[in-house]
Chain A
Amino acid sequence: MKYPGFIIVLLMLTNCLNKPDCIITATNLVKIGFVNASNQPRSTQVDSIRVSGKEVLYYKGASVSTVNLPISPEVAEALFVFYYEQQQDTVRLQYKVEPQIISPDCGAYTIYKNLSVSETSFEFYQVVTSQLSTNATVNLQLRIE
């Protein structure tokens, strides 16, 4: 080995760069984007959205191209019913809920990952990001013709 000292210093520096921070981006909000046939954001007149496990209706009378809908940490499945533009469509999602520990000072938090669509009446959909995060642009795209 020609440069053992250099390699060790490099590994030490790599180690220093791996310190945890307390920036928690995990969320239980699924970011859903409506797109048109060209995959461009589509403003949609939503009458309301029903979320499984919740009594309240979301986005009543709103004109939106993205919505943030909550999912429960107690179950691994969620059903969303969309009432919009005289239509009704559903999306059933599956996901995994698990804890992640950062450090004693930052604590533990819950992550929601492996998001997938198990059932839907939308003709086209795409899971863009399968882990829920406040940084995610969108988790799921639903195409509305």
Chain B
Amino acid sequence: MRQSIFSYVLSSFLIAIVVTGKAQNNPPDSTRGIHLPTGIRLGTDLILIGTSAFSESFSGWEINGDVDFGRYYLAADFGNWEREQSLVNGLYKNDGRYYRVGIDVNFLLKDPDRNMLFFGFRYGHANYSEQVTYSFSAVDFGDYLADESNSNARANWGELVTGLRVKVWKEFWMGYTARMKLLARTKNNDFETYEIPGYGLTFKNVYWGFNYQVFWRIPFKKVD
């Protein structure tokens, strides 16, 4: 899975380099620069929905949206994340909501349908609680059952993103977003967070994410 995400990201980068190189030789066109928005695209991540349907330990959903300003897109996501994970000596739970905001830059400047091959960045933020119940032993003090929680924890992180958006039919779009998540920071913790909703496991300095998304675009005005 990780290898395929990596292949996607790498190939997208390579395509973008070629596209950018070619685009730089072209004369200026109407997609360059910042323009008034022509529509909003709203969608959801099918992978999260699928994972929730088939996993006993995870439940989550995510709403994705973007608004075009010429070749630049203001993108925002909002998600819900719950996990109940059995541990070899206990149980870990988390429950939280997260959002991401950022900018995407479209490198397909000449496409009449305004399909996208984009690169961008996100700022991510999560509010969550987590709880761990586990058994342990302390030398000379015996066995214990601990029940600890982080009730008002917060976290933020950054993301470098790349992906595709393709117009499939009328205003129906599909696409993917590959995410390289990094620089996660947590606050208000009584213990070190294990997993941040929307980010993933905290012991990884760089965490890869992948969304396969469907969108419906609501136009404000007709695209030129």
Question: What sequence of 0s and 1s flags, for each residue 178-190 of chain B, a beta carbon within 8 Å of any chain A beta carbon?
Answer: 0010000000001
Verify A104–B88 contact, CB threshold 8 A: yes
Verify A110–B146 contact, CB threshold 8 A: yes
5 CB contacts below 8 A, A to B, read: A4-B17, A8-B6, A20-B203, A28-B141, A108-B136
Verify A73–B138 contact, CB threshold 8 A: yes
Among residues 27 to 55 in chain B, which have CB atoms less than 8 Å away from a CB atom of chain A?
A: none
Nearest residue (CB) in A for B136 is: A110
Nearest residue (CB) in A for B130 is: A101
User: B-contacting residues of A (Cβ < 8 Å)?
Assistant: 4-5, 8, 11-12, 14-15, 18, 20, 27-29, 51, 53-54, 56, 70, 72-74, 98-101, 104-110
Give the contacting residue for B206; candidates A4, A15, A53, A73; CB below 8 A: A15
Give the contacting residue for B191; candidates A27, A53, A99; CB below 8 A: A99
Give the contacting residue for A73; candidates B6, B9, B10, B144; CB below 8 A: B144
The CA-CA distance from A56 to B194 in the complex, in Å, is 37
Verify B204–A109 contact, CB threshold 8 A: no
Nearest residue (CB) in B for A108 is: B134
The CA-CA distance from A121 to B169 in the complex, in Å, is 80
The CA-CA distance from A142 to B6 in the complex, in Å, is 53
Give the contacting residue for A72; candidates B86, B90, B141; CB below 8 A: B141
The CA-CA distance from A46 to B178 in the complex, in Å, is 63
Verify A28–B180 contact, CB threshold 8 A: no
The CA-CA distance from A56 to B141 in the complex, in Å, is 12
B85 lies within 8 A of chain A by Cβ: yes
Verify B89–A27 contact, CB threshold 8 A: no
Report B-chain residues with C-beta under 8 Å of the C-beta of A18: 203-206
The CA-CA distance from A107 to B9 in the complex, in Å, is 33
Give the contacting residue for B13; candidates A4, A29, A54, A101; CB below 8 A: A4
Going nearest first, the 10 A-B pairs with the smallest beta carbon separation are: A108-B134, A107-B89, A101-B194, A107-B88, A98-B191, A70-B140, A28-B138, A107-B87, A15-B206, A73-B138
Nearest residue (CB) in A for B190 is: A98
B61 lies within 8 A of chain A by Cβ: no
Report A-chain residues with C-beta under 8 Å of the C-beta of B204: 15, 18
Verify B206–A109 contact, CB threshold 8 A: no
Q: With A98-B190, A104-B85 in contact, do A15 and B205 touch (Cβ < 8 Å)?
A: yes
Other 15 A-B pairs with CB < 8 A, given A8-B6, A74-B141, A99-B132: A4-B13, A4-B17, A5-B13, A8-B13, A14-B206, A15-B204, A70-B141, A73-B136, A73-B141, A73-B146, A99-B146, A101-B194, A107-B87, A107-B88, A109-B134
